[in-house]
Amino acid sequence: MNNSDLNINFPMGTRFGDHPDDGKYPGRLIIVEGIDGSGKSTQIDLLAKWLTSMGYVTVFTEWNSSPIVRRTTKRGKDQRLLTPMSFSLIHAADFANRVYTQILPALKSGTVVLADRYVFTAFARDAARGVNRDWLRRIYSFAVQPSLALYFKVPLQESIRRIVAGRESIGYYESGQDLDLAPSREESFRTFQQRLLDEYDRLTNEFELVAIDATDTISKQQELVRKYVEPLLPGLMEIHGDSLPEALSSAGLIGRYVRRSGSRRIPETVGGPDG
């Protein structure tokens, strides 16, 4: 049976996009999406530094960041045990942990939450692996809508050029070799990345993601990002003379996040490129 034919017959809520908590909290959730090599992580880092410089309490959360889930994923990758559906369910578990322990508490406190990848990563990657799209939208029905969803769009050839230049090798799952797409890892990677681009084009139309040309200069992209973000800022929590850790502590948020704005990533909670 192909994963695209999976028919799950137990209730999992409505489709993502109609959630009772949408717009309910004073905080703002700003997310970035894009295939590897799109430069989205650079842009969200620059955005975090800008927001912090203006005094806004800003926290960061990223894909596949739960230590337990990361260890499970790594073990499955190392032994090549992960099927498309097991990949999907593991990431859904990690995402649920992020929503309830990181994202919602911060939104309730009125802070800015910056997310490097959100549900659209699952929608794109899992659908590219053949998992049913409607099932994916239902299993993530607990997710709140982001205040702003930015998609950094980069042509396939440019993405591949950036990735090859920045890495010594491309992983088995990252290249989609588990799907038997092509005989060589390089050809499989190209085919899988094109599938991801096709899915992101579909998602951009379905969920009205804000597309940004990721081939433009870093400064011009950041200028555009700030233009979209600025209208969302009035009324958000500000530091008011405290340090960021003090502000987070007073809101009961300290210790919940992968990293604080402007700080180095915490090694044990950083996912790999296909995490």
CB 124 within 8 A of CB 196: yes
Q: What 8-state DSSP symbol labels residue 5? A: G
CA 256 to CA 143: how far, in whole Å? 18
Is residue 5 included in any domain, yes or no?
no
Is residue 74 included in any domain, yes or no?
yes
Is residue 19 included in any domain, yes or no?
no
Is residue 2 included in any domain, yes or no?
no
Domain containing residue 242: CATH number:
3.40.50.300
Give me the pLDDT at residue 14, please. Answer: 59
Give me the pLDDT at residue 15, please. Answer: 67
Give me the pLDDT at residue 267, please. Answer: 27
Is residue 274 included in any domain, yes or no?
no
Residue in the block written with tokens 């239902």: 138
Chain mean pLDDT for the chain: 82
Give me the pLDDT at residue 56, please. Answer: 93
CA-CA-CA-CA torsion sign (140, 143, 145, 146): negative
Is residue 8 included in any domain, yes or no?
no
pLDDT band at 254 (very low <50, low <70, confident <90, very high): low
Is residue 124 included in any domain, yes or no?
yes
- Residue 17 reports pLDDT greater than 70: no
CB 98 within 8 A of CB 65: yes
CA 100 to CA 66: how far, in whole Å? 12
Distance set, CA 152 to CA 44, 116, 225, 242, 252 (Å): 11, 12, 10, 34, 33
**Digit-coded pLDDT (tens) for 171-230:** 877 888 888 888 888 899 899 999 999 999 999 999 999 999 999 999 999 999 999 999
Query: Which domain, by its residues, includes 92?
Result: 25-269
CA 59 to CA 43: how far, in whole Å? 15
What total of structural domains would you count in the chain? Answer: 1
Q: How much is the pTM?
A: 0.83
The sheet carrying 28-33 orders its strands as 210-213, 148-153, 28-33, 112-116, 58-62, 259-260
**Digit-coded pLDDT (tens) for 96-122:** 988 988 899 999 999 999 999 999 999
| Alpha helices (H) in the chain, listed in sequence order | 40-53, 67-78, 84-98, 104-109, 119-128, 133-139, 156-166, 185-207, 218-229, 244-250
Is residue 6 included in any domain, yes or no?
no
Q: What 8-state DSSP symbol labels residue 152? A: E
- Residue 261 reports pLDDT greater than 70: no
